Structure 1
Amino acid sequence: MNRFIKTVICAAAITTFTTGCSSKETSTDESTGDKVTLNLYSTVTSEQDQKTIKNVVKKFEDKYPEIDIKENYPASEYEGMLRVKMAANDMPDLFDTHGWAINRYGEYVEDLSTMDWVKDLDPALDQILKDDTGKVYAYPLNQAKDGLSYNATLLEKYDIKPPETFDEFMEALEMIKEKGKGEVTPLWFAGSDKSAFGQYFDQFATPLLITADGNSYKKELLDGTFDWTHYTYLPEKLKEMQDKKLLNVDVLTAQNQQMADLMAQNKIGFIVGGGVLGPLIEELNPDIKLGVVPMPIIHEGDKQSWIGGERHTFAVWKDSKVKDEAKKFLEFIAQPEIVKEIAEGTSLPAGLTNTESKNYYSDYYEKYKDIKVEPYFDRVYLPSGMWDPMGASGQELLSGTTTPEAVSKKMGEEYTRLLDQIK
């Protein structure tokens, strides 16, 4: 997360990108003088995460002074820049696949399956970073395990257990509303950013449509025959939350940078996702403790799951003229001590299993270590381009300009339109 200064520069990194910059100028040269130059592009936006990567890069450059790494952190411009580079077949030597290693960047990446670190790849990432042929698409710096983040101090005070089902989640929100006497928002959204609602729909779509026997529509979503009326439950519940005053009153104008400050003031019960928020809250108010719980189930008989996969990665461009040097960098950061440094510096679980690391949420990850990690819904089951309309539909719904049924209808139309474009 962006370090906030103590409130302003941070929380956009929790759910979305903010304006970023590079510590070095971008270069397309493969060498500068006697040095080999690697261009590295990352989606990392938070100050702490960038500091972690910069420190690792410096250690690598100190060990291999003949190699210079030019780091680039384009933030919200990242996807646009990479699309232009893909079109020109002029990719960075190392780049972040940010959840799209196979489906978006697959044809541009070097197969890394013969590298030594692959034996230590966390099996939870296999379906995200490997294909059926065994090709490995990227090196994972860390991995996401998203669920519901909550104010553990507040829930303990109110004697509320972390919810395991959606019904329990709604009951918990009602109890926070009652016991908070208007001082605490049960479920808070930074709704000026449509990604906040995209996160809600994306994370809850998995227990609604994927993981439960008898209510799994994997095949239909993948072959284009899905009936989008099955999706209506999610906008219905979001609207119900608003009608019952379980959301922040400024839900459509609230901004990401407010989130940490309000949580540190004990004014928020739950947020969707937000797994990187804890260390900042500890810094702002060490008396407030956050927890994280896997996604509540929606259908009886289902099991809870984390939503996640890769968070940040480095892939190697298959046509890079400095592939050997790029792979040398991956070998360097795959050392156990560097794996640990990156995991702890970014407050996320490591992508490799060759070390043990501790972060703010380690006790929760250990508690729920047997919970399966399901990939982000949109990355597997939706065509590229669905994120924006998915998030925008939440804004339209809560502004009163559409209905839950119309949300599902619009999602179906966008889904069909985008599928047709790639046929």
Structure 2
Amino acid sequence: MRKLVLLLVMIVGITLAGCSSNEASGDGSGTTLTFYSTATSEEDKKVISEAVAAFEEKYPDIDIEDNYPGDGYEDMLRVKMAANDLPDLFDTHGWAKQRYGEYVADLSAMEWVKNLDPALDPILKDEEGKVYAYPLNQAKDGISYNATLLNEYGIKPPTTFKSFMKALEEIKERSKGEVTPFWFNGSDKSALGQYFDQFATPLLVTDEKHNYEKELINGTFDWSHYTFLPEKLLEMKEKGLLNKDVLTAQIQQKAQLMAQGKIGFTLASSSLGPAVEDLNPEVQVGVIPMPTIHQGDEPSWIGGERHTVAIWKDTEHIEEAKKFIEFLAQPEIAKKIAEGTSLPAGLKNIEAENYYSEYYKKYEDVKVQPYFDRVYLPSGMWNVMGSTGQQLLSGKMTPEEVSKKMAEEYKRLLDQ
């Protein structure tokens, strides 16, 4: 009896090993591609997973193993880059050229490239014409707001930082403190990092008289020019314009509180509007470009690539990987993904209708500026922006100390 059991175990083991070997070798039994995405919201993951399933149905000989590591994505990809063993397909999440450029295949010969939105050219193409990734959608980040509340209070969406501060104070006064003027899920330092990153562009880049691009890039930037941002954030806290639980609030609370009419403004999130609509259709969420800081400047969106699909240049399945991207670029699929993620499509031939369409249409002439840290800061500074924001609001740092810390880390990371 024992001999029979052992024989059965050996047969099963050999069979399983053979299946695994056939799948990996691509000997006719099918090809499996690994795909890693930075999508975190349930809405975003759902629409991408549905696209994967539709592809697999059309091409039954190709399987896509889609993965959504969440907060662990960047660390995981860094390890894989160090080992030169990346997924067959992966999301470049804003770093198509700077971080992942040497690891991705050139997609410039693909049919969809002729329809690439020109706004994404500086982010996804280089001077030689190499195309680094396919954009599932594109980010247009600004500030989300409770449009229902602002209409009720007679507050116009602000276009300048001065009018933004005034709007926050009006919300506090009109609601008698029942509504948080500017809400952050500050338990996650990235939320505070987002504040600094988005406002740094109108402070230090877009205004001609206050443009420090050259200094930021060559390492000579005087970080005292940055102090305005921590000063204003601290002023908001001291005036009661931020949520009292700013350092412990969780991102899951955002949609619930907005749906309850308890938030005036918060940093933009593409999934916020649809989530609020599901909870309370009576509340309309709007979005505006970033207000100007310097007189005479123009508002701007902050963004570029949001979710993308790049191909690892050393994949053994380059043709199958391209076939997947070709499928994603089909108009009906591209439209569905853009609408499902509530963001504009990355292709100019796609008219995507989503929750924020009226706002994107209203501000269609507003330029999109790239994320500040992706262009002007060395890798690692995002963490510094977020952590100094937490220390500022906890009383452990002054605005001047925040700028000093930024200068120190900027120099240290730049020299690495």
Q: Name the TM-score class by shorter chain.
A: over 0.9
Q: Which structure 1 residue ranges, 4+ long, deviate > 4 Å from structure 2?
A: none
Q: Any unmatched runs of 5+ in structure 2? A: 1-19
Q: Work out the CA distance in 2 between the residues paired with 1:348 and 1:130.
A: 21
CA distance in 2, matches of 1:33, 1:51: 30
The answer on 1:317 being equivalent to 2:317 is: no
- Contact 2:180/2:264 (<8 A) preserved: yes
Is the Cα contact below 8 Å between 1:30 and 1:321 reproduced in 2? Answer: no
Residue 227 of structure 2: aligned partner:
232
Matched, 1:115 2:85: no
Structure 2 length normalisation: TM-score? 0.93
Q: Give TM-score, length-normalised by structure 1.
A: 0.92
Q: In the TM superposition, what is the alpha-carbon distance from 1:127 to its structure 2 partner?
A: 1.1
User: Matches of residues 203-352 of structure 1 in structure 2 within 5 Å?
Assistant: 203-352=198-347
Aligned residues: 396
Distance 1:340 1:375, change over 3 A: same
Is contact 2:144-2:268 (8 Å) kept? yes
Structure 2 equivalent of residue 154 of structure 1:
149
Equivalent residue number for residue 93 of structure 2 = 98
For the pair 1:48 / 2:43, whether they are aligned, the reply is yes
**Given the superposition, is the C-alpha separation of residues 412 and 29 from structure 1 closer, same or farther in structure 2, using an over 3 Å criterion?**
farther
Give the AA of the match of 1:298: I
Alignment-derived partner of residue 391 in structure 2: 396
Alpha carbons 2:328, 2:334 under 8 Å: kept: yes
Match status 1:75 vs 2:70? yes
Residue identity opposite 1:225 in structure 2? T
Shift of 1:120: 0.5
Question: Does structure 2 retain, via aligned residues, the 8 Å contact 1:199–1:273?
Answer: no
Amino acid at match of 1:201: F
1:267-315 deviation line (CA, Å, top 9, x unaligned): 0000022232000000000000010000000001111100000110000
Query: What secondary structure is seen at the aligned counterpart in 1 of 2:197?
Result: helix
CA distance in 1, matches of 2:370, 2:52: 29
**Matching residue of 1:136:** 131
The answer as to whether partners of 1:95 and 1:315 remain within 8 angstroms in 2 is yes
Say yes or no: does 1:196 pair with 2:191: yes
Rg (Cα) greater in structure: 2
How far apart are the structure 1 equivalents of 2:64 and 2:86?
15
State the Cα deviation string for residues 309-342 of structure 1 (Å, max 9, x = none).
0110000000111011101111111111111011
**Is 1:372 aligned with 2:367?**
yes
Single out whichever of 270-279 and 260-269 deviates more from structure 2.
270-279
Cα distance, 1:30 vs structure 2: 5.5
For structure 1, which runs of at least 5 residues remain unmatched after alignment? 1-24
Q: Which has the higher helix share?
A: 2
Deviations 1:51-76 (CA, angstroms, capped at 9, x unpaired): 21121112111111111111111111
1:190–1:252 contact (8 Å) kept in structure 2: yes
Superposed displacement of residue 29, structure 1: 3.2
Amino acid at match of 1:407: V
Measure the CA separation in 2 of the matches of 1:29 and 1:237: 55
CA contact 2:108–2:131 (8 Å) conserved in 1: yes
State how far apart, in whole Å, the 2-side matches of 1:380 and 1:32 are: 44
